[in-house]
């Protein structure tokens, strides 16, 4: 019984992981997986790399956006990429989720217990209750429904803090070379543009602060920042090669950040503090934030009453609160034109760079602050466990863009128990691999024949081995954007909102409707389509080498555009009707 109590949190983690594995094994690719910035982007990219065998290739093009360099796609030296090398896409996605949870638990447990041992003077065996709570907070962090493609990168943040902490205190712990090696390898589970740049930046300021505080240079951390930087350069050598040695003008340099007036920036900062942002929606506002805010005032009023101003500034809890607030401020200031332009002028390489991604670090800070509250408050252990489990339950049961577990469970029960049809597409339906294999065989599709999609994401074609002139990518040549614009100019001239969307951003290089706001729908029905006319310059498409248009819409002006209908296709296991047109 004592052993059970000692390891209860690990047992709960194991049961959760087992339940997830069984759940997805039963549901399979009928699971409802988030489409936005997920199925329409990264999963298709990994499928392209696998279909073409170009994970490790150099000097080759990827079969989308007219043959863009393979170097713009994810590095082969990444754990998440390796999963897609080894496993089928759906299995890789699920394994990635499980690894994210396990890495978060492991990382958070390591960091928190390491800090507690130092501050309490106790050994690990004497911290069983605290270790259990730390493990559950790790589970809380692991189940946060953050940007799926970078879930492992999010989950591993406590690990790099643990390693850097060990380096800083290396005379006490020894094994400095081992920790340096692990820091060098850390980028294998991280991502430079979203996390690495900021980790290195935080570390740089930490070195300066500790140098002043300790009155000596923290040489271990200086070595660490060098080793970590080298690790990122090696693991993401393709990205650094483009950043440092390519003179290609990309769409990043012409994107409009969508600057806001000062009043709206203030509201955005407030919203970022409370809600996070789309890719870092950790639903902390429902439970974790209220608990942490109440404790913040309780803590600091206590310091004020005791006239202990120094305690306010030395308490690590307040440091966490300050970092969350600063990250929210930085997120908002990115959209304030004077600040953005000054930074781009002072540091030209940062022009177009989304420096407001510091907001990605707020979820881990909220979780660490939540642990501090649970650890410090003098209540029965069961209350502490209940608080963390409640926070976990709220995350799992709150519908959200990336809450695949909830969405799959909800939609499956809705269909199987209540007999209601879901309009959303599950993983299998979204890609409809069987249907597209049938289409390719029927039209005699040959590898490398350029196509475009209409009424659906080009990622569907890319996943199924069809080369596309269209696509979704936040980093491709401006010249290609201008060439493709000639194709969609008739549609853009009819819809100002669509024109601004493409001209001011342009990451989604798609065929657009000239009437409807959006005809790219990840749904079974196409109820938003009111006009079957395709507004596109098919002569410009032909000049770009396009042979086929794959459409979910039966085009009413096909003859006027010199398009020949090759056939309309349906599949027993697909909700799609696909109309394939050949450009004459």
pLDDT at 121: 77
Q: For all residues of the chain together, what is the average pLDDT?
A: 95
pLDDT in tens, 149-181: 999 999 999 999 999 999 999 776 667 899 999
pLDDT at 109 over 90: yes
DSSP 363-414: HHHHHHHHHHHHHHS-S-HHHHHHHHHHHHHHHHHS--TT-HHHHHHHHHHH
Q: Does residue 564 fall inside a structural domain?
A: yes
Closest CA to 159 of 123, 108, 117: 108
Q: Identify whether the C-beta of residue 72 lies closer than 8 Å to the C-beta of residue 475.
A: yes
> Does 479 score more than 60 pLDDT?
yes
Per-residue pLDDT tens digits for 182-228:
999 999 999 999 999 999 999 999 999 999 999 999 999 999 999 99
Q: Give the C-alpha separation, 309 to 317, whole Å.
A: 14
Instruction: For residue 563, tell me if it sits in a domain.
Output: yes
Q: Is the pLDDT of residue 349 over 70?
A: no
User: Is 49 among the domain residues?
Assistant: no
Q: Which of the four pLDDT bands, split at 50, 70 and 90, describes residue 122?
A: confident
Query: pLDDT at residue 26 above 60?
Result: yes
Q: Is 444 contained in some domain?
A: yes
Residue 184 falls within a domain, yes or no?
A: no
Q: Tell me the per-residue pLDDT of 488-530, one tens digit each, with 9 for 90 and over.
A: 999 999 999 999 999 999 999 999 999 998 889 889 999 889 9
pLDDT band at residue 137 using 50, 70 and 90 as cut-offs = very high
Pairing label, strands 450-454, 546-551? parallel
The pLDDT of residue 173: 60
Q: Report the pLDDT value the prediction gives residue 172, as an integer from 0 to 100.
A: 65
pLDDT at 33: 98
* Cβ atoms < 10 Å from Cβ of 121: 8
Cα(126)–Cα(121) distance, integer angstroms: 10
Query: At residue 134, does pLDDT exceed 70?
Result: yes
Asked if the structure places residue 539 within a domain, the reply is yes
Is 524 within 8 Å of 429 (Cβ atoms)? yes
Residue 47 clears pLDDT 90, i.e. is over it: yes
- What is the reported pTM? 0.95
At residue 262's C-alpha, the angle toward residues 261 and 267, to 5°, is 100
Backbone angles phi, psi at 432, to 5 degrees: 40, 55
Q: How many structural domains does the chain have?
A: 1
Q: In the structure encoding, which two tokens stand for residue 448, read together? A: 């490398």
Residue 1 pLDDT greater than 60, yes or no? no
* Predicted local confidence at residue 270, as pLDDT: 98
Q: What per-residue confidence (pLDDT) applies to 582?
A: 98
In order of 116, 301, 377, the CA distances from 295 in angstroms are: 20, 10, 9
Domain residues for the domain of 450 are 429-583
Closest by alpha carbon to 369, among 293, 480, 440, 286? 293
Task: Say if residues 154 and 360 touch (Cβ distance below 8 Å).
Answer: yes
Please give the DSSP secondary-structure letter assigned to residue 61.
B
* Torsion over CA: 256, 257, 258, 261 (sign): negative
Res 280: pLDDT = 95
C-alpha 94: how far from chain center:
15
Q: What angle do CA 381, 383, 389 make, to 5 degrees?
A: 105
- Residue 512 falls within a domain, yes or no? yes
Q: What is the pLDDT of residue 527?
A: 87
146 within a domain of the structure (yes/no) = no
Q: What is the spatial distance between Cα 176 and Cα 227, in angstroms, rounded to a whole number?
A: 12
- Residue 363 above 80 pLDDT? yes
Smallest Cα–Cα separation from 138: which of 178, 116, 107, 115? Answer: 107
Residue 79 has pLDDT above 80, yes or no: yes
pLDDT at 244 over 80: yes
Report whether pLDDT(5) > 90: no
571/575 Cα distance (integer angstroms): 7
What local confidence, expressed as pLDDT, does residue 234 receive? 98
Contact in structure between 524 and 575 (CB atoms under 8 Å): yes
Residue 528's pLDDT is what?
83
Q: Which of 112, 156, 152 is nearest to 136 (CA)?
A: 112
Q: Which of 337-346, 356-365, 535-544 has the lowest mean pLDDT?
A: 337-346
């Amino acid at each position: 019984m004592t052993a059970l109590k000692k390891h209860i949190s690990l047992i709960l983690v194991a049961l959760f992981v087992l339940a997830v594995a069984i759940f997805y094994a039963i549901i399979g690719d009928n699971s409802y997986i988030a489409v936005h910035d997920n199925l329409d982007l990264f999963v298709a990219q990994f499928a392209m790399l696998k279909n073409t065998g170009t994970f490790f290739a150099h000097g080759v093009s990827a079969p989308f956006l007219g043959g863009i360099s393979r170097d713009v796609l994810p590095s082969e030296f990444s754990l998440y990429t390796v999963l897609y090398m080894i496993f089928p896409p759906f299995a890789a996605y699920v394994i990635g989720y499980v690894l994210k949870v396990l890495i978060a638990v492991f990382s958070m447990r390591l960091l928190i217990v390491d800090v507690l041992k130092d501050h309490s003077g106790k050994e690990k065996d004497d911290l069983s209750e605290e270790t259990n709570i730390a493990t559950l907070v790790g589970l809380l962090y692991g189940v946060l429904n953050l940007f799926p493609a970078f879930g492992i990168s999010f989950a591993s943040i406590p690990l790099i803090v643990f390693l850097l902490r060990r380096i800083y205190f290396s005379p006490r712990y020894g094994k400095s070379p081992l920790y340096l090696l692990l820091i060098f390898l850390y980028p294998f589970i991280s991502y430079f543009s979203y996390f690495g740049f900021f980790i290195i930046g935080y570390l740089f300021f930490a070195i300066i602060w500790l140098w002043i505080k300790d009155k000596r240079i923290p040489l271990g951390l200086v070595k660490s920042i060098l080793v970590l930087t080298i690790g990122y350069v090696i693991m993401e050598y393709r990205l650094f090669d483009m950043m440092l040695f390519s003179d290609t003008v990309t769409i990043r340099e012409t994107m409009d950040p969508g600057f806001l007036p000062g009043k709206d920036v203030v509201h955005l900062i407030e919203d970022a503090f409370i809600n996070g942002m789309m890719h870092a929606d950790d639903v902390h506002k429902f439970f974790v934030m209220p608990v942490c805010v109440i404790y913040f005032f309780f803590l600091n009023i206590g310091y004020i009453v005791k006239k202990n101003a120094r305690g306010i500034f030395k308490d690590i809890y307040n440091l966490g609160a300050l970092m969350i607030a600063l990250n929210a401020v930085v997120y908002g200031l990115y959209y304030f034109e004077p600040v953005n332009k000054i930074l781009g002028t002072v540091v030209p390489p940062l022009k177009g760079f989304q420096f407001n991604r510091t907001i990605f670090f707020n979820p881990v800070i909220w979780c660490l602050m939540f642990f501090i509250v649970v650890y410090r408050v003098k209540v029965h252990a069961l209350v502490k466990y209940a608080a963390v489990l409640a926070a976990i339950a709220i995350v799992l049961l709150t519908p959200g863009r990336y809450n695949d577990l909830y969405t799959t469970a909800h939609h499956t029960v809705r269909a199987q128990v209540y007999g209601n049809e879901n309009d959303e597409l599950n993983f299998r339906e979204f890609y409809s691999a069987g249907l597209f294999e049938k289409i390719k065989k029927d039209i005699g599709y040959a590898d490398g024949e350029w196509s475009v999609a209409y009424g659906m994401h080009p990622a569907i074609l890319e996943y199924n081995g069809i080369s596309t002139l269209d696509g979704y990518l936040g980093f491709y040549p401006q010249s290609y954007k201008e060439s493709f614009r000639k194709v969609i100019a008739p549609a853009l001239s009819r819809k100002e909102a669509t024109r601004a969307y493409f001209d001011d951003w342009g990451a989604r290089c798609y065929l657009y409707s000239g009437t409807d706001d959006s005809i790219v729908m990840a749904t079974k029905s196409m109820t938003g389509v009111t006009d079957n006319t395709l507004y596109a310059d098919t002569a410009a498409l032909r000049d770009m080498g396009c042979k086929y248009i794959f459409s979910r819409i039966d085009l009413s002006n096909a003859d006027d555009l010199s398009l020949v209908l090759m056939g309309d296709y349906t599949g027993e296991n697909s909700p799609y009707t696909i109309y394939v047109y050949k450009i004459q």
